[in-house]
Amino acid sequence: MKCRSVGGRLMTGVCILGLSFAGTPARVAGDTFKQSAELGKKTAKTSDDVDRYVAQLDKTEQALASVSQAQSKDLKKRYESFSKEIDSLEEVQKQATSDIEQMKSTGSEYFSAWGTSIAQMSNPELKQASSERRSKIIKDHDNLVVSLNDIGSDLQPFMSNLHDLKAFMETDLSPENIAKAGGMIRKSQSDALALKGKIDGAQSTLKQFLSEAPK
């Protein structure tokens, strides 16, 4: 589009507006493409961190089981190992939780940009096709978020029980005292299995969303 000086300021203003409007669709499309790539990146990182959480969860529970089976001479060393694994589990959990929140936020930005892009389409068939595709991806994303939120509600009480066990055992590292914690140790192991079952389902949903979402 070429702007001429004929007509003075009014024509110049019209030309500026014309250039602005002409550039908007491409800019919005670029934003949508960028947000799509970012969502894929955040989802992949979330999946990796959830895998790391499961691996660290296994190590923590193995260390706890090791304490419960220790003799007097081994108790201190095994308790210290268990304490270290709890700290590592908390760090991995914080990272995974942070990535999940970033993935949610990126998803909202992406779907908003996609909606803006659809609004600028003039072809009704393309508009409908894109709208239907967007609705499906939003539904898949919402299902993923529900699955992850369900896991999140179990994390705090699970970690609280581990910290209770740690505090109880450190007051008296004797086989007799450790034996008194047997019920809570078995509960922790049972809760860990249930938690991993939920995580396995969420990971399947994560990987499916990652494979089906726009690239």
Quote the CA–CA distance of 63 and 21 in Å, as a whole number: 63
Q: Please give the pLDDT value at position 215.
A: 64
Per-residue pLDDT of 36-52, as tens digits, reads 888 889 999 999 999 99
Domain of residue 30 covers 26-212
Q: Please give the pLDDT value at position 83.
A: 95
Q: Please give the pLDDT value at position 85.
A: 97
202 near 50, Cβ under 8 Å?
Answer: yes
Whether residue 15 is contained in a domain is answered as no
Whether residue 98 is contained in a domain is answered as yes
Q: Please give the pLDDT value at position 212.
A: 78
Domain count, the chain: 1
Q: Other CB atoms closer than 10 Å to residue 31's CB: what's the count? A: 17
Whether residue 13 is contained in a domain is answered as no
Mean pLDDT calculated for residue range 98-116: 92
Residue 2 pLDDT more than 90?
Answer: no
3-state secondary structure of 206: helix
DSSP 8-class letter at 7: T
Whether residue 17 is contained in a domain is answered as no
In the chain, count H helices and then E strands: 5, 0
Per-residue pLDDT of 138-154, as tens digits, reads 999 998 889 888 888 88
Quote the CA–CA distance of 150 and 68 in Å, as a whole number: 30
Whether residue 42 is contained in a domain is answered as yes
- For all residues of the chain together, what is the average pLDDT? 85
Question: CA angle, 208 as apex, 125 and 212 as ends, to 5°?
Answer: 25
Whether residue 157 is contained in a domain is answered as yes
181 near 113, Cβ under 8 Å?
Answer: no
**Both structure tokens of 29:** 């499309």
**Both structure tokens of 115:** 């909606």
Per-residue pLDDT of 177-210, as tens digits, reads 999 999 999 999 999 999 999 999 989 888 888 8
Mean pLDDT calculated for residue range 85-92: 96
Mean pLDDT calculated for residue range 58-70: 94
Share of the chain above pLDDT 90, in %: 61
Which ranges of the chain does DSSP label H, i.e. alpha helix?
9-68, 72-119, 124-170, 175-180, 182-212
Quote the CA–CA distance of 65 and 203 in Å, as a whole number: 26
Q: Lowest-pLDDT range, 26-35, 39-48, 77-86, 184-193?
A: 26-35
Quote the CA–CA distance of 28 and 79 in Å, as a whole number: 56
Whether residue 126 is contained in a domain is answered as yes
